Chains A and B, each alone.
Chain A
């Protein structure tokens, strides 16, 4: 990421740092005007874009790309290439025709950089790590974050690595959990680092931590309590600039400059497993967890969350919902028991539709269409519509258990299984 685009003091406009290497004009627009930036995002033409971080450029899990097709030849997905990266749940990120993810094999986690055209490994970087397969298959659970020529990787055991994007060379490494003196949560750290200006936000401790992205030095950290597993999100237009951390027992709004907790919405879940990212939209915040916890929407009133509605109809054990055209699309229920794909109204939480028998593994949304990867490795495409679940295409792309959401970037769809098979489905027109 071109760091010049970030003001030194994180202004609200920082939160709309859309990144697209091919669209300099758009970048400049973002830099100077929040309003125009937002407008540009809404009307942005459906050009290809790099999915350079967890949940994508807008942190909402939604790609604006429309220039892709599920009208596959002979009805089957066109799997351009596959590769094997080892056990794990790490998602895929893409920049400049390279795809990145992490997998575990032989007592090591390995970061892979592959060429998106043929799947060839450009470089890989390994570090010692335990499989740590407590109650699941184990392996890395966080997703790398790309920031220009730097890739940031946060291991389950609390090691933070900064690698050179072009070469995979390690620039620095810190044991950041030890530095911050915070404990590991039950299943280890899992949230992708989030770059905001010169800071790297990490979900660890009671309410996150910030690290200098240039050298890994701790800027601020929070109390030694269990963190949750969800990714960190930003509240657009907040003053002071605020990030929401998924903590073990709450979701916490934190002042980015000081690390001070501005508010905390108590959110108790069995096993402290708050794994879904908060969704922020139009001054409202949506939270959801599994293990029968359910969901709730809050309105920020005087910077404090105030309950609007709550519901047991959307229990996101792992996957964050997708908010699109005033509807939430998501996976409801605990994965092992066979979760449901649902559509809820954002306004009141009312269930619009629910499909019970899909065995969903991960859900994405691009150009108005849902991409569902089933647990068994089938990729299904359906309009993201309150009209119902009406798939227009489907086909097997992977064997084995898939629990990682697919990613669409530049017309290619990346799917992975827990065992570490990655399939690239070419959906370019």
Chain B
């Protein structure tokens, strides 16, 4: 689709009306936003529950290509708040029929851009899950459209607002770890070889063609849906495109949103084995291990994940280490943050995490910030530009992995330098009738 100028104008007009309405009622917590959720799976419902708990949500519509998920979600919404949202299997119909003020996008990655652009075009503010695109061009289109329409877009980077992240970042920025020369971001887990799983007919409750949408139509396999899309590069970008976005964002936050000038990645499936995809069976195809190196002006940052080998000798399996002239700072998940001075005689500094369980997040704070941004017109803490930059870095890593060579990056122009083959990978071909978003 093309984000057209007339759309921008229409969106802007709507925005003005909304912002002024917001100002009038700024002090009122009675305002209920007409909210739609696109993608009613586990995480989408986690977000919606937070939205309902915050007390300013009227759920008007739910959308999913899996009618079972849709029905379960509808029943839960009714139980939680008494709302009886309309159910849709096609997001386009939803935005055509419903007057949506807030859209939550929690679909698989390959749908994010089309869902988000339709929501913005309809005049909605957006809460969108990371990554903000499956390819960089999609993410750029969301940035352009939301800015033009003056819509608030919060990206689901709850680690931007989680208490231990905020206090840890303060510690780092005040020089607690000294001058940082290297940042290492990592996620490790256990795993082994993977045998192919038989393909089957899609379940009766699933619109498989619509699930694939702009991505290639591949044989259905129970490992993909529900819950497995991240391991398939048609629909997502593996661990770097998932966890990587969170930890890259922590690094970018500390660096005051600098851009790397080159990126190199290597990795593959040495343990899981070669990816299989044929008419009868398939495996996942995301890398089981990957390293991506980002060169900045004054420091380097390295992403590393492996889905085998377990924890090993390290203290943590997930997080972000900042190596500085005074010691090593570890920003973790459930283990909070810890600073290890390079001088063993000095005390270790630590702060516990404060997370919402069972899933260990800080969505409550992130949703509150989103509402405040809509009311005040300010940028949210995980604004689309912030989510876009973290997404871009993860996708540059994936792009380098596919090419097998490093790429140079112009962060201001958001362009790959002198490499047409790499530049071509900033976009992907969409399956008809879907068209790749462009900004005109």
Contacts and interface: CB of A to CB of B under 8 A. Distances in A.
Interface of A: 134, 183, 186, 225-226, 249, 266, 268-271, 292-293, 310, 312, 333, 337-338
A186 B358 contact: no
B222 A186 contact: yes
B203 interface: yes
B79 interface: yes
A310 B223 CA distance: 31
A79 to B, nearest CB: 30
Given A270-B42, A270-B226, A292-B76, 9 more contacts: A226-B203, A249-B205, A266-B71, A270-B227, A292-B42, A310-B79, A312-B79, A333-B358, A338-B358
Interface in B198-215: 200, 203-205
A268 B226 contact: no
A386 B366 CA distance: 40
B68 interface: yes
Contact of A270 (B72, B203, B204, B222): B72
A249 B71 CA distance: 11
Nearest to A249: B68
Given A186-B222, A226-B203, A268 B197 contact: no
Given A310-B79, A337-B358, A271 B72 contact: no
B197 A134 contact: yes
A273 to B, nearest CB: 10
Contacts of A293: 72
A268 B71 contact: yes
A410 to B, nearest CB: 40
Interface string B48-76: 00000000000000000000110110001
A145 to B, nearest CB: 28
25 contacts: A134-B197, A134-B223, A186-B222, A225-B204, A226-B203, A249-B68, A249-B205, A266-B71, A268-B68, A268-B71, A268-B72, A269-B72, A270-B42, A270-B69, A270-B72, A270-B227, A292-B42, A292-B45, A292-B76, A293-B72, A310-B79, A312-B79, A333-B358, A337-B358, A338-B358
Contacts of B42: 270, 292
A275 to B, nearest CB: 16
Contacts, number: 29
Contacts of A337: 358
A293 B222 CA distance: 20
Given A293-B72, A337-B358, A271 B226 contact: yes
Nearest to A266: B71
Contacts of A249: 68, 205
Interface centre among A134, A269, A292, A293, by most chain B C-beta atoms within 10 angstroms, is: A292
Interface in B337-387: 358
A265 to B, nearest CB: 13
Interface in B377-430: none
Contacts of B203: 226
Contacts of B358: 333, 337-338
A333 B45 CA distance: 17
Interface in B147-203: 197, 200, 203
Interface in B210-257: 222-223, 226-227
Contacts of A338: 358
Nearest to B198: A184
Contacts of A225: 204
A249 B205 CA distance: 10
Contacts of B205: 249
Contacts of B226: 270-271
Contacts of B204: 225
Contacts of B71: 266, 268
Contacts of A292: 42, 45, 76
Contacts of B227: 270-271
A81 B222 CA distance: 41
Nearest to B223: A134
B42 to A, nearest CB: 7
A287 to B, nearest CB: 14
Interface string B17-38: 0000000000000000000000
A292 B226 CA distance: 15
B374 to A, nearest CB: 28
B80 to A, nearest CB: 9
A73 B358 CA distance: 39
The 8 closest A-B pairs by CB, nearest first: A268-B72, A268-B68, A337-B358, A186-B222, A268-B71, A270-B226, A271-B226, A249-B68
A226 B42 CA distance: 21
Contacts of A312: 79
Contacts of B45: 292
Contacts of B200: 183
**Which of A225, A270, A293 has the most CB atoms of chain B within a 10 A radius of its CB?**
A270
A312 B358 CA distance: 14
A38 to B, nearest CB: 36
